[in-house]
Amino acid sequence: MQPLQRRRFLQAAACTVAAPHLGAAMAARDDAYPSRPIRLIVGFPAGGSADQSSRRLAEQLGRQLGQPVIVDNRPGASGNIAAAAAARSAPDGYTLFYGSNATHAMNVSLYPKLDYDPVKDFAPIALEGKVYNVLCVNPAFEARDLKSFLAMARAKPERIAVATPGNATSGHLSLVLLNRAAKVQLAHIPYKGSAPALTDVLGGQVPAIFDNVAGNLAYIRSEKIRPLAVTSRARLPLLPQVPTFEELGLPDCEIAAWGGLWAPSGTPPPVIDRLNQEVNRALQTAAVADRMRELTIEPQGGTPQALADFARSETLRWREVIRAAAIRLD
Query: What is residue 31's predicted lDDT score, i.e. its pLDDT?
Result: 61
Give me the mean pLDDT over the 117-139 stretch: 97
Give me the mean pLDDT over the 35-41 stretch: 98
> What's the pLDDT tens digit per position in 88-122?
999 999 999 999 999 999 999 999 999 999 999 99
Q: Are strands 95-100 and 38-42 parallel, antiparallel or unpaired?
A: parallel
CATH 3.40.50.720 at 38-130+255-325, yes or no = no
Mean pLDDT of the chain: 90
Q: Residue 5 CB: number of other CB atoms within 10 A?
A: 9
Could you give the count of Cα atoms lying within 13 Å of 290 in the half-sphere of its Cβ?
A: 4
Span of 66-70, 94-98, 100-104, 250-254 with lowest mean pLDDT:
250-254
Could you give the CA distance from residue 272 to residue 122 in angstroms, rounded to a whole number? Answer: 11
Percent helix / strand / coil, the chain, rounded to 5: 45, 20, 35
Could you give the CA distance from residue 271 to residue 256 in angstroms, rounded to a whole number? Answer: 29
Domain ranges of the chain: 38-130+255-325, 132-253
Beta-ladder partners of 131: 257, 297
132-253 has the same fold as 38-130+255-325: yes
Span of 114-123, 199-208, 210-219, 259-268 with lowest mean pLDDT:
210-219
State yes or no: pLDDT of 24 exceeds 70.
no
Q: What is the third-level CATH fold of 132-253?
A: D-Maltodextrin-Binding Protein; domain 2 (3.40.190)
Residue type, 154: R
Q: Whole-prediction pTM value?
A: 0.84
Identify the burial level of 327 via C-beta atoms within 10 angstroms of its C-beta, where 0-12 means exposed, 13-18 middle and 19 or more buried.
middle
Cα 2–3–7 angle (5° rounding)? Answer: 115
Span of 114-123, 126-135, 321-330 with lowest mean pLDDT:
321-330
In angstroms, the first-to-last Cα distance of the chain is 61
